[in-house]
Amino acid sequence: MLILGIDDAGRGPVIGPMVLAGCLVNKDTENKFVRMGIRDSKMLAPKKREAFAEEIKKSAFAFYEVLVSVDEIDGKRADNLNLNQREAVAAAQIINKLNKGKDKIQVIIDCPSTNIPAWKEYLEKFLIAKTNLSVLCAHKADVNYVVVSAASILAKTRRDAEVKKLKEKLGVDFGSGYSSDPNTKKFIQDNYEKYKDKGIFRESWDTIKKHKDSGKQKKLF
C-alpha cells in the first residue's frame, strides 16, 4: 500500500496564490521521514524547510503541486466555488494525478473545513478512480501524520517561491503577504492603488475591503 499526504500553504495571506501539495510514499519512505525529523512546515525555519523539500522530492514515490490563483480564491471564476470547495477540487486534482489505479492508496488530507464529512463527500465527487482509495480527512493532519507534514513542506516552499517571483516581478518587497505582517500592512496602505490591477491582492479579504472603505471615507471628508 502507498500513502498520499495532502496539505495546503498560503490559505490565509491577503497577497498571492495558495498552494496544495501531495506527497506519495511507501511505508519505508514514511519511516525514513520520521527518522529524518520531518514535521509540519510551520515548525521549521525556512532553510530547514528548503533542505527537507529537496530530500522529500528525492525520496517520494511521486509528488504534485497545484496553484490556486488569487482570482480563484476570490471566486471570480465562472464556477463560483468558495474557498473550501476550491481546495477540495485542487486536492482531487492531486489524487487523480498521482493515482495510477494499480496500488491501494491511503489518502490523508489536512481538512480545511469544520464539517469534515461534508467536505470529504464534496471532494469525492471529483475523483476519477475510487476503488483502490481509502480517504481520511482530518484536522491537524499536518502535525499527526508525517506524510502530510512532508506535503506541507512542499506546499510551503512552493508558496514561498511564488511570493519571491511576485516580488521580483513587481520590484518591491511586500513582506510575507499575511495581513498580520507589518510590512504587508504598510505595503497595502501605501501601494494598493498602484498595484490593484496586478492581480496580487485577494479583494474578498477583509484587509482589502477595510482599506478600500477607509479610502472612501477619506474622500468623503
CA distance 7 to 180: 22
CA distance 37 to 43: 11
If pLDDT is split at 50, 70 and 90, which confidence band does 215 have?
A: low
pLDDT at 216 exceeding the cut of 60? no
Neighbouring residues of 88: CB distance < 8 A, sequence distance ≥ 6:
119, 122, 123, 126
Q: Are residues 152 and 211 in the same domain?
A: no
CA dihedral (110, 113, 118, 122) in degrees, to 10, reads -70
pLDDT at 187 exceeding the cut of 80? yes
Letter for the amino acid at 106? Answer: Q
- Summarised one tens digit per residue, pLDDT across range 122-141 is 999 999 998 999 999 999 99
Q: Are residues 113 and 212 in the same domain?
A: no
Q: Are residues 190 and 138 in the same domain?
A: no
Q: Are residues 36 and 119 in the same domain?
A: yes
CA distance 101 to 70: 33
How confident is the model over 80-85, as a mean pLDDT?
A: 92
- Domain hosting 105: range is 2-166
**CATH classification of the domain holding 178:** 1.10.10
If pLDDT is split at 50, 70 and 90, which confidence band does 91 have?
A: very high
**CATH classification of the domain holding 159:** 3.30.420.10
Q: Are residues 161 and 176 in the same domain?
A: no
Report the domain count for the chain: 2
- Summarised one tens digit per residue, pLDDT across range 97-117 is 999 988 999 999 999 999 999
